[in-house]
Amino acid sequence: MDEEYDAIVLGTGLKECILSGMLSVSGKKVLHIDRNQYYGGDCASITPLEELFKRFGAPSPDETYGRGRDWNVDLIPKFLMANGLLVKLLIHTGVTRYLEFKSVEGSYVYKGGKISKVPVDQKEALASDLMGMFEKRRFRNFLMFVQDVREDDPRTWKDLDPNTTTTQQLYNKFGIDKNTQDFTGHALALYRDDEYLNDPAVQTVRRIKLYSDSLARYGKSPYLYPMYGLGELPQGFARLSAIYGGTYMLDKPVDEIVIENGRAVGIRSGNEVARCKQVYCDPSYVVDRIKKTGRVIRCICLMDHPIPNTRDALSTQIIIPQKQVNRRSDIYVSQVSYTHQVAAKGWFIAMVSTTVETDEPEAEIKPGLDLLGPVKQKFVIVSDYFEPTDNGLESQIFISTSYDATTHFETTCLDVLDIFKRGTGEDFDFSKVKLELGEEEQ
């Protein structure tokens, strides 16, 4: 390791692995280190099951849980939007070839104490009990507007410039009631709270389009989930980085980032120093350069049945809009199962998560837990949400933010693309991914 690198990346969470891959592909000489002996950091899928129980200080699982090796339990629940940024990154970098995905079977939204399926086609929409007959007609007009509107073409605006009007004004124009607003903003546009109502409507329009474009790809829901768990994602991007020359060291303690004249010039591990021009890392490697801006609670629930009232779906998402339970931020429930190779046969893993608002985070997720039915084993994680205190341009230390409570990877990718741009001064050029990579077909 006593060499000079263009960039040293610390931590092998998803963000760091994507960054490492992009840097290597761009021709940079990269050293990628993790203090743990496994890939993924907070994004790892824990295996075997015994390891998960040990992590939370619980006694070893009994034999009803099947073989421990059949389990790969995520610590952070998320799905991929089928037409979202992460899928684009995966396809353009060729990392898809290392992974296999399943479409998530159903998406549900909580209303008035029970859950209803988010309609995926006209038939389901007509049958849905989410709104009344007249409201459905108004909502349909709204959706048609969203589909047809072009941000830069005033002829499609219908006297309403989406760049200057707010989402609230847009709702009002179509006469959409509060319940439907809740559904649209939280279950389709996937906002976590209600602040978006006063932001330009164009953002909401984009988000609804992302939802419907993602839905259009596979039909059942807009979400995808990788076989063997989310921990496969960082591994895939790490492999991309390695293929383009990145050097990998796991199980390597990092004692210090070496600073000269206010700039990072290397890292020290024991007596060894690796020199570099830049450092990219997750917040845990630079505790003095980050600030806590919130907390997220995530609860892992192991169950021997699917979530009730989801038509026995093997994978599901349920969104509990904040207003329904008198909160400021939504509660998310996600469930995957043995069919994704993340649990032993017959087992299901549900996760309930939200942004923490009170001193009793566990009480906050109760509405989500109440939907699950009997739970065999529950593990609660309350983690701080960190942001870097500066943009890294001066120190050349580029720090990612912690993973937020959103159910998908859009904010994750935006952070990565932003860091890449700050670090290299340019947007990532996908054309640098050589197509001969693999030379699959002769």
Partner 1 sequence: MANRGGPGGRPNGTAQQQQGGGGGGRICQFKLVLLGESAVGKSSLVLRFVKGQFHEYQESTIGAAFLTQTLCLEDTTVKFEIWDTAGQERYHSLAPMYYRGAQAAIVVYDVTNQDTFGRAKTWVKELQRHASPNIVIALAGNKADLSNKRNVELDEAKAYAEENGLLFMETSAKTAVNVNEIFQEIGESIVGLFVLVVGIQICRSEQSRLNYVSKIVYSLWYRK
Pairwise CA distance, residues 126 & 412, whole Å: 35
Q: Does 90 bind partner 1 (CB under 8 A)?
A: yes
CB of 108 to partner 1, least distance (A): 20
CB of 9 to partner 1, least distance (A): 13
Q: Which of 99, 143, 265, 375 binds partner 1 (CB under 8 A)?
A: 99
From residue 138, alpha-carbon distances to 142, 179, 180, 299, 311 in Å are 6, 13, 10, 38, 29
From residue 22, alpha-carbon distances to 19, 41, 430 in Å are 5, 19, 9
Length of the chain: 442
Q: Does 157 bind partner 1 (CB under 8 A)?
A: no
Pairwise CA distance, residues 263 & 396, whole Å: 6
Peptide bond preceding 308: is omega within 30 degrees of 0, i.e. cis? no
Q: Is 27 helix (H, G, I), strand (E, B) or coil?
A: coil
- 358 or 442: CB nearest partner 1: 442
Q: Does 97 bind partner 1 (CB under 8 A)?
A: yes
Q: Does 28 bind partner 1 (CB under 8 A)?
A: no
Residue-wise DSSP of 278-299? EEEE-GGG-GGGEEEEEEEEEE
Q: Does 375 bind partner 1 (CB under 8 A)?
A: no
Q: Which of 185, 236, 306, 367 binds partner 1 (CB under 8 A)?
A: 236
Q: Does 227 bind partner 1 (CB under 8 A)?
A: yes
Direct distance between the N- and C-terminal alpha carbons of the chain, in angstroms, rounded to an integer: 37
Q: Does 51 bind partner 1 (CB under 8 A)?
A: no
Q: Which of 235, 322, 355, 396 binds partner 1 (CB under 8 A)?
A: 235
Q: Is 249 helix (H, G, I), strand (E, B) or coil?
A: strand
- 226 or 368: CB nearest partner 1: 226
CB of 18 to partner 1, least distance (A): 15
The residue count for binding partner 1 (CB under 8 A) is 43
**By the 8 A CB rule, do 234 and 14 touch?**
yes
Task: For CA atoms 12, 14, 15, 18, give the dihedral sign.
Answer: positive
Residue type at 192? R
CB of 93 to partner 1, least distance (A): 8
CB of 44 to partner 1, least distance (A): 10
Q: Does 3 bind partner 1 (CB under 8 A)?
A: no
Q: Which of 153, 260, 359, 436 binds partner 1 (CB under 8 A)?
A: 436
Q: Which of 170, 205, 238, 350 binds partner 1 (CB under 8 A)?
A: 238
**By the 8 A CB rule, do 95 and 240 touch?**
yes
Q: Which of 66, 68, 98, 376 binds partner 1 (CB under 8 A)?
A: 98
**By the 8 A CB rule, do 275 and 4 touch?**
yes
CB of 154 to partner 1, least distance (A): 37
Q: Does 292 bind partner 1 (CB under 8 A)?
A: no
Pairwise CA distance, residues 373 & 315, whole Å: 15
- 227 or 375: CB nearest partner 1: 227
The interface with partner 1 within residues 247-266 (CB under 8 A) comprises: 247-252
From residue 322, alpha-carbon distances to 17, 347, 369, 385 in Å are 33, 29, 15, 20
Q: ∠376-378-383 over CA atoms, to 5°?
A: 165
Binding residues for partner 1 (CB under 8 A) = 39, 47, 82, 87, 90-91, 94-103, 218, 224, 227-228, 232, 235-236, 238-239, 242-245, 247-252, 434, 436-442
